Structure 1
Amino acid sequence: MSADRALLDHALERGEEEGGSVEFKERLTRMVHLASGRMESLAAQLRHRVLSGDGEATYVVGVTDDGGVAGIAPEAFSESMDVLSLLAEEAGAHIDDVQTWGVDGGEKGIVGVATIREGAMLETDDDHLVVGTAGHVDHGKSTLVGSLVTGTPDDGQGGTRSYLDVQPHEMERGLSADLSYGVYGFDREGTPMHMTNPHRKSDRARIVEEADRVVSFVDTVGHEPWLRTTIRGLVGQKLDYGLLVVAADDGPTKTTREHLGILLATDLPTIVALTKCDVVSEERVREVEREVERLLRGADRVPLPIGRHGVDAAVEEISETVVPLLTTSAVTMDGLDTLDELFSRLPKTSHDAGEFCMYVDRTYNVTGVGAVASGTVKSGRVSAGDELLIGPRADGSFVEVEVRSIETHYYRVDEAQAGRIVGIALKGVKETEIERGMVLVPRDATPNPVRSFEADLMVLNHPTRIGEGYEPVVHLETVSEAVTVSPDEGHLLPGDTGTATLRFKFRPYHIEEGQRFVFREGSSKGVGTVTRVE
């Protein structure tokens, strides 16, 4: 629900005029307003309103013809938005934003304002990189990304970090999946397109709409107690690259090593950026650079200093084994042009082969829209109107649902492909029935609810030995669940690799062979690959 009624009051005050851009509707129904002849007439009316408003029209739903606020039930409002979306599409326009308010405290239903803009909804076949950021707290990760997406130097006090603070009310009021920490893009010539104010939904939508390449950053948490959240950000999203930051004044820490281990264990091509290079001497920068190079070699990776080898070499050589390394400063902006060039040229690593699949990361209930599941599309494509299955539930069953609408970065799209961070409004399920770790797949698919599976494991750290009945938490896609481990050889020691059977303790999940995962319990950590599902 929107608290500020200024938009509604302004629309009611302007009222309906013959040549105006405001239209009042008490409600819209499929049976009446999409009937033959009626739909064409209403689409023409909508087109007239859009043209009268220089490309933008305002539809107030839940009011009488004379502007009296009547209010309608949320279900009726939801149907009205579906109908309005189809009318807009018919008229060569799209719904850009919807805001709702309760009438008499919600007792008489809701009233809403839909903003209609000229032009079809965004096609999603453009190049879209998703980058997972990691690094120790206070190493300048948020500040670096803030300066990248805004093109603004930091004030030395982390000022650009504030651009990226999560606003809880934005989560509650919007449909969009705001999983990413920031977004910016590039035009056809590779020139960066920055956000003026990342807090504004319209600013993010503009980037997604106009850029030829979009770069989304998925943030992780730098504090050691929240390593689980970091694992979620790195393992649970369809990432193309990792960006690990190391502060030049502090150097690599235990958390740096933890985050690097997770990035490399999941075979994610990674870039290491030394930050805060403006606050230390050149000698200290070189010292930390050598320390990071030793750290990478110790993990059987090849460091590639961009300052010595150039951007061309970094673009050509970056892989699961070759890690580009560069120096940066968000205050002086040194190195950020290099990052810009990298992100404008790096190839996308995730592709849309296979049938549609998306693991649910977050859920919302949006008034007038209903249940929204957000996450990163793992494979395939999804379109508005698609019939899907969501699950498994605790008993292993799946629920039939329909895609009502899709948004990415507050911009409505008619289709989304692998790698897209999206919010999908679903018809046929309540938000309370959706849980993180569930999966969305086509309705004609045959998803397999898995309770136990076999895997190849590598133990990265453990104080003793891992034996029968060991119970860590497995982080696979967006699944975070306790399992019992039964090593085939009876036990595993730190540094060992071996096979084991893992069983979810509480409920089944959709698991596939070949998926990588991280397991963790206390200070114990390891990685694995699913080899067989039962």
Structure 2
Amino acid sequence: MRRSIPVVPPEQQKGPIEYKRQVNQANTARLRSLATQMSFRMDEGGGSCRYYIGVEDDGCHSLLDYPSVAESARVLECIARSLNAIVVERIMIQKEVVEGELVGTSLKAYEAPIFGDAAGHPVVVKEDPMLCKEPGVITRGELSIHRVETHLLDPSPKSVAELANASQGSTTMDTSNDESFSIGETLSARNIRVAVVGNVDAGKSTLIGTLITAALDDGRGKSRTAIMKHRHEIESGRTSTATTHLLGFRSTGEPVTGRDAVRAKRKSEDEVARESYKTVTLMDLAGHEKYLKTTIHGVSSGFADYALIMVNARQPPTHMTQQHLNLCCSFGIPVIVVFTKIDGCPEHAYETCRKEVTKMLRSPEIGKKPFKIRNEEDVVTVMDKLHTLAPMFETSCVTGEGITLLQKMLFSLPKRRKHENKINRKFEFLAEDIFNVPGVGPVVSGFVNAGELHVGSNCNVYVGPTDDGSFMKTVAKSAHIARINTTHITAGQSACLAFALNKEMRKKLRRGMVVLKEDPFSTREFDAEICVLKGEGTTIRRSYQAYVHILNVRQSAFAKSIEIVNNSIGGVTRSHYASNEENHIVLRPGSRAKVRFEFAQRPEYVRPGMRMLFRDGRVRGVGIITSIPEATAVN
């Protein structure tokens, strides 16, 4: 019988299609290699791939019989399940070759996948009675494989070991430990947000890269290049933008890393979310003083549950470390101190650094008690005392020292912000970035601060305010969470929304806008109760102009009026905090006052209860918005 019978074009090295002559009973090493190959094909196909079984690499028919092709298909389906994927279509093709010649007609018979659908339920397929399952009948097969959106199987290497047993003839796999998780819950109720701050060259991006990829650094910036976006950041090694990265954990506390033994490429965020029980959003913020405005905005609008204060153990903490520490404490964010580059660090240098940090933490402005973490028992001990204690870790991204303990800490951290309590409030989406996606239109990424939204053709929303204070009425067409398409977003989630806007409206989109479902309004003025931070001498009086941060809003504003708050404490009189000379009130460090601010450029959306921060170079004070003057509100 002639064997060179072409049935499909030759196999391509790249793309979502793979040819297999036959997959025999294999050991763990062989299955791991096949899993890596399948993962690559799915990456090439955007989550889907197709396997041709009983076909040579040159596209010729392998002339196998039905039992050989069926066994190969079963092993490939086992491998797909280990990669959190399912077989959505299984076809057996017969009567294609007769007496060694290719004929024009053939029999295509559909079969049910062995392991059912994404939830494990059997798939009912009407079998073709013409399909012959006896040995000797020339057959080839086709499998369509697709990644699912729920965590059904453990994708760690031990699953491949289980496949080695399954490939010996068993058609069932042990799924007793499988758990089905809602991605929406994983990315909201079981997601904590951690701001990573510290002085330049403290190793912030390197630590995040090590946690995300589970690969140790080489001491020359290997880990940080995995997460940096811009060329100038990679070349200089310094972060200039605020970026977020997703770290996932399984229910056992094992991290879902960006790479594993069967990955050809690093996992994307949607894959990490699908495989995770709990997620940690790490916000990489700039450390250089030149980018302090970006860092303040990241902390202000990031809704961080906790903050990692990164300190280079080889040198004393700088004034920027103090600035970042004050910034986090001003927003009431519990801090965790991480000493980096501990490998090869002289003992005296580390002791000097540790004492300086301890002094900072114990200062009256911070009021934290340092607590060194030595083992997992210490992690459990400190967990419910984070409002008074500041855990301290010693880490090295080169040797891996302290990384496991830090991962344990991140997994154990309780969610501090209860966004689920704000679901019944009016929908409020804070816009952080604007994109124009070809074929989709304008896309806005941001954070759902309150309420919930069901997107679709009937979902009317208001986007604004524009420069004149008005809002644009439009339709929220679609939404993505961690690159996963969804029709419902809720409070506590980071999401992207696509809008139906014309060309003129697109030009008006900017950062700092909000998306509302009802009652849109903007204002140029607002009243706030502020506290001037202690530190370098500064005076604040009427017409004082500062840069104001209110969640995602950042704009210059000036003080129109000031009213002193009488906070006489411990016998300290009001005159200690302020002086009134010729009816001009002057605020000094430690003063509290009610101030009416006016935005310098355009109206913004702010409401009572929002926390604010103002600065003129360095952070000068914090406060909370108390009211919006009705006369200045723009409806």
Q: Please, what TM-score do these two structures have when normalized by structure 1? A: 0.73
Query: Secondary structure of the equivalent of 1:412?
Result: strand
SS in 1 for 2:589: coil
Once the two structures are superposed, residues 336-395 of structure 1 have per-residue CA deviations (whole angstroms, 9 ceiling, x without a partner) of 112111111111122132333221111000001111111122223333324322112222
CA distance in 2 between partners of 1:157 and 1:215 (Å): 26
Q: Tell me, yes or no, if structure 1 residue 125 matches structure 2 residue 185.
A: yes
State the match for 2:34 in structure 1: none
Comparing 360-369 with 505-514, greater Cα deviation is found at 505-514
Task: Identify the residue that residue 607 of structure 2 maps to in structure 1.
Answer: 512
Contact residue 373 and residue 423 of structure 1 kept, 8 A:
yes
Q: Secondary structure at the match of 2:411?
A: helix
Moved more, 362-371 or 414-423: 414-423
Aligned twin of 2:434: 363
Q: Which runs of 4+ in 1 moved over 6 A?
A: 6-11, 197-201
Shift of 1:180: 3.8
1:374-393 map, 5 Å: 374-385=445-456, 386-393=459-466
Relative to structure 1, the CA distance from residue 517 to residue 203 in structure 2 (aligned partners, 3 Å threshold; closer, same or farther) is same
Tell which has more relative contact order, 1 or 2 (C-alpha 8 A, sep 6+).
1
Corresponding position: 1:250 with 2:250: no
Letter in 1 for 2:541: G
**Counterpart contact for 1:209–1:411, Cα < 8 Å:** no
Of 452, 458, 466, the residue aligned with 2:531 is 458
Query: Partner of 2:325 in structure 1?
Result: 260
2:613–2:621 CA contact under 8 A, matched in 1: yes
Alignment correspondent of 2:543: 469
What are structure 1's unaligned runs of at least 5 residues? 1-5, 12-19, 22-48, 55-90, 94-114, 169-177
Decide whether the 8 Å contact of 1:147 with 1:330 is kept in 2: yes
Partner Cα distance (1:338, 1:404) in 2: 43
Partner deviation per Cα, 1:310-329 (whole Å, 9 max, x = no partner) = 1012211113x432222111
Amino acid at match of 1:143: T
| Aligned equivalent of 2:383 | 315
Matched residue type, 1:131: V
Which residue identity lines up with residue 379 of structure 1 in the other structure? A
Aligned to 2:338: 273
Distance 2:451 2:474 in 1: 18
Cα separation, partners in 2 of 1:205 and 1:255, compared to 1, 3 Å? same
* Closer/same/farther in 2, CA of residues 426 and 352 from structure 1, 3 Å limit: farther
Q: 1:424 to 1:403 in 2, by over 3 A?
A: same
Q: Secondary structure at the match of 2:195?
A: strand
Deviates more, 1:365-374 or 1:353-362: 353-362
Cα RMSD of the aligned pairs, angstroms, is: 3.2
Q: Deviations over 1:245-265 (max 9, x none)?
A: 011112211111111111110
Match of 2:421 in 1: 353
For residues 207-226 of structure 1, the aligned pairs below 5 Å read 207-226=272-291
Alpha-carbon contact 2:243-2:285 (below 8 Å) kept: no
Q: Which residue of 1 aligns with 2:258?
A: 195
Letter paired with 1:416: I
Q: In structure 1, what is the equivalent of residue 510 of structure 2?
A: 435
1:51 counterpart SS class: strand
Q: Give the CA deviation at 1:181.
A: 3.3
Q: Which of 269, 288, 292 is the aligned partner of 1:204?
A: 269
Q: Does 1:521 align with 2:616?
A: yes
Q: Note closer, same or farther for the CA distance 1:335–1:120 as it changes in structure 2 (3 Å cut).
A: closer
After TM superposition, give the deviation of residue 413 of structure 1 in Å. Answer: 3.2
Structure 1 letter corresponding to 2:320: T
- Equivalent residue number for residue 134 of structure 1: 197
AA matched with 2:602:
R
Distance 1:397 1:522, change over 3 A: same
Match of residue 343, structure 1, among 410, 418, 429? 410
Query: Within 2, Cα distance between the matches of 1:237 and 1:292?
Result: 25
Residue 31 of structure 1 corresponds to none
Deviation string 1:180-199 (CA, Å, 9 cap, x unpaired) is 43222111111111112999
Matches of 2:470 and 2:264 in 1, distance apart? 39
Partner of 1:423: 496
Q: Distance in 2 between matches of 1:306 and 1:414?
A: 45
Aligned match of 1:501: 596
Query: How many angstroms apart in 1 are the aligned matches of 2:198 and 2:264?
Result: 23
Number of residue pairs matched?
427
Partners of 2:484 and 2:619 lie apart in 1 by 41
Where 2:185 maps in the other structure, the secondary structure is coil
Of 385, 389, 395 in structure 2, the residue corresponding to residue 328 of structure 1 is 395
1:315–1:357 distance in 2 versus 1, CA, 3 Å: same
Question: Aligned with 2:345: secondary structure?
Answer: coil
Contact 2:242 2:294 in 1 (8 A): no
Contact (CA 8 Å) 2:548, 2:613: kept in 1 or not? yes
Checking the alignment, whether the CA contact within 8 Å between 2:371 and 2:389 is kept in structure 1 is: no
CA distance in 2, matches of 1:188, 1:316: 20
Q: Is the Cα contact below 8 Å between 1:196 and 1:203 reproduced in 2?
A: no
| 1:15 corresponds to | none
Residues 179, 375 of structure 1: 8 Å contact kept: no
Residue 444 of structure 2 is aligned to residue 373 of structure 1:
yes
Shift of 1:510: 1.4
**Pair 1:297-2:392 in alignment:** no
C-alpha distance after superposition, 1:446-500 (max 9, x if no partner)? 2331211111222235644111111111011111101011322422112322221
The question of 1:487 aligning with 2:570 is answered: no
Q: TM-score, normalization: structure 2? A: 0.62
CA shift for structure 1 position 8:
11
Larger Rg: 2
Give the superposition deviation at 1:158: 2.3
Q: What letter corresponds to residue 512 of structure 1 in structure 2? A: R
Cα-to-partner distance string for 1:81-117 (whole Å, 9 max, x where unaligned): xxxxxxxxxx999xxxxxxxxxxxxxxxxxxxxx994
